[in-house]
């Protein structure tokens, strides 16, 4: 089904992104997966052609483009090629909005230029060993000491955790708790007491560095407080539509890509004297999945249009996130089955697509939390 959400500029951008992903990233995937981390230089290379930092204002060295459809194109092209190592979408879709919306002028001047050029890599640290969906359980603390803050605690599952030069850390600044107890700080590579734990071994996304971070009396100057003291919880909320749409967009793109590959496989692979796709079971299954992925694409495109017009609600984004990522689970699962024994072999893209998809219903807010959000909005 023809998509009507993009215009000429977007289509030209997609060509650039696809070219970069194919030539500069895909050939390195195997090495990155073995190493458990991508080359950090790829951020700067990507920034040069505009894959990273395009939404930073031009005065800070970015592309000055505030249109989420460009973000979506990067997410889609990475997902379609199952290239995942460097957290470009984390940079573009999650970190950039925080800095653009919450950093003061001094901070912007300090942080945005190296961010936009890809010289500095960022991460955001919310999750802790004991705190996932329920953010109010965060135990990392920040205590004021003169002009500084002293941070103590541990974070885990942090994407870009090893490569990152600066990390947005959510910490509790009011021991009394409640939704006004949290503040965001930017912790920098080299600060005393800031150390990285393990680069975590995961089911999939092997080229993505996902790490534990430890904070032992890390002294952070007040100049690195991001946004307002006590407003961290609300600041985290404001950017949710972007984060969730980023995942939804990639879910549909990954589903479409692996489904198309599987349809091709079903046409060429024969069993019992005929292509397996011509058996009714396979044909119907492919018909169902193709229909559902088209439906998902239409819904996501509609959300995308709303988001680029700043009209998408967090409830709509939650719907898109859970439904598309659950669809992706079914798509990759059935595509493995249609590949038979080969689907189980890592040399086939479908095997990797299967494991790489699994986190999608979990990070960025689990399916269950998304349904809570939708359900609560219904008043039930």
Distance in angstroms (rounded) separating the CA atoms of residues 23 and 77:
13
Burial (0-12, 13-18, 19+ Cβ within 10 Å), 4: exposed
Pairing of strands 122-125, 274-275: unpaired
In whole angstroms, how close is the CB of 371 to another protein at the nearest point? Answer: 16
For residue 95, the 8-state DSSP code is: I
| 228 a catalytic residue | no
Q: Interface with another protein includes 288 (CB under 8 A)?
A: no
Stretch that binds another protein, among 52-60, 129-137, 280-288, 336-344 (CB under 8 A): 280-288
Q: Interface with another protein includes 299 (CB under 8 A)?
A: no
Q: Interface with another protein includes 337 (CB under 8 A)?
A: no
Non-local CB neighbours of 33 within 8 Å, separated by 6+ positions: 85, 206, 207
Q: Interface with another protein includes 271 (CB under 8 A)?
A: no
Quick one: which of 361, 284, 351, 283 has its CA closest to 327? 361
Q: Interface with another protein includes 274 (CB under 8 A)?
A: no
Q: Which of 280, 341, 378, 379 binds another protein (CB under 8 A)?
A: 280
Q: Interface with another protein includes 279 (CB under 8 A)?
A: yes
Q: Interface with another protein includes 281 (CB under 8 A)?
A: yes
Instruction: Please tell me which residue in 120, 243, 288, 316 is annotated as part of the active site.
Output: 243
Q: Interface with another protein includes 269 (CB under 8 A)?
A: no
Q: Interface with another protein includes 284 (CB under 8 A)?
A: yes
Quick one: which of 134, 318, 184 has its CA closest to 241? 318
Q: Interface with another protein includes 268 (CB under 8 A)?
A: no
Which is nearer to another protein, 277 or 349 (by Cβ)? 277
Which is nearer to another protein, 278 or 346 (by Cβ)? 278
- Beta strands, E only, the chain: 122-125, 141-145, 148-159, 166-172, 182-188, 194-199, 210-221, 225-226, 270-271, 274-275
Stretch that binds another protein, among 121-129, 202-210, 276-284, 369-377 (CB under 8 A): 276-284
Sign of torsion over alpha carbons 371, 373, 379, 380: positive
Binding site for another protein (CB under 8 A): 279-281, 284
Catalytic positions, please? 243
């Amino acid at each position: 089904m023809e998509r009507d959400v993009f215009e000429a500029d977007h289509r030209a951008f997609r060509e650039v992104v696809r070219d970069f992903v194919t030539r500069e990233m895909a050939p390195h995937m195997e090495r990155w997966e073995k190493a458990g981390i991508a080359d950090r230089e790829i951020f700067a290379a990507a920034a040069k052609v505009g894959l990273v930092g395009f939404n930073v204002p031009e005065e800070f060295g970015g592309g000055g483009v505030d249109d989420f459809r460009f973000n979506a194109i990067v997410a889609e092209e990475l997902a379609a090629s199952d290239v995942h190592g460097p957290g470009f979408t984390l940079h573009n879709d999650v970190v950039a909005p925080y800095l653009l919306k919450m950093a003061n002028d001094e901070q912007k001047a300090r942080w945005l230029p190296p961010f936009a050029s890809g010289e500095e890599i960022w991460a955001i640290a919310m999750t802790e060993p004991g705190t996932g969906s329920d953010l109010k359980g965060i135990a990392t603390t920040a205590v004021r000491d003169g002009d500084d803050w002293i941070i103590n605690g541990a974070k885990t599952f942090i994407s870009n955790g090893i490569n990152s030069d600066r990390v947005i850390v959510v910490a509790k600044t009011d021991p009394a708790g409640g939704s006004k107890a949290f503040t965001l700080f930017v912790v920098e590579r080299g600060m005393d007491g800031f150390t990285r734990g393990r680069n975590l071994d995961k089911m999939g996304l092997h080229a993505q560095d996902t790490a534990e971070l430890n904070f032992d009396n890390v002294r952070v100057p007040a100049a690195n407080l991001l946004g307002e003291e006590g407003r961290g919880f609300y600041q985290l909320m404001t950017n949710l539509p972007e984060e969730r749409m980023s995942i939804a967009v990639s879910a549909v793109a990954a589903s479409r890509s692996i489904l198309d590959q599987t349809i091709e496989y079903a046409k060429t692979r024969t069993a019992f004297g005929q292509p397996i796709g011509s058996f009714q079971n396979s044909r119907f299954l492919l018909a169902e999945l193709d229909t559902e992925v088209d439906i998902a694409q239409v819904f996501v495109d509609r959300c995308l249009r709303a988001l680029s017009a700043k009209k998408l609600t967090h409830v709509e984004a939650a719907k898109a996130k859970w439904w598309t990522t659950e669809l992706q689970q079914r798509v990759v699962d059935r595509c493995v089955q249609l590949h038979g024994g080969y689907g189980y072999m890592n040399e086939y893209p479908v095997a990797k697509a299967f494991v790489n998809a699994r986190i999608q219903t979990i990070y960025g807010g689990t399916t269950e939390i998304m349904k809570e959000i939708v359900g609560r909005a219904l008043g039930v």
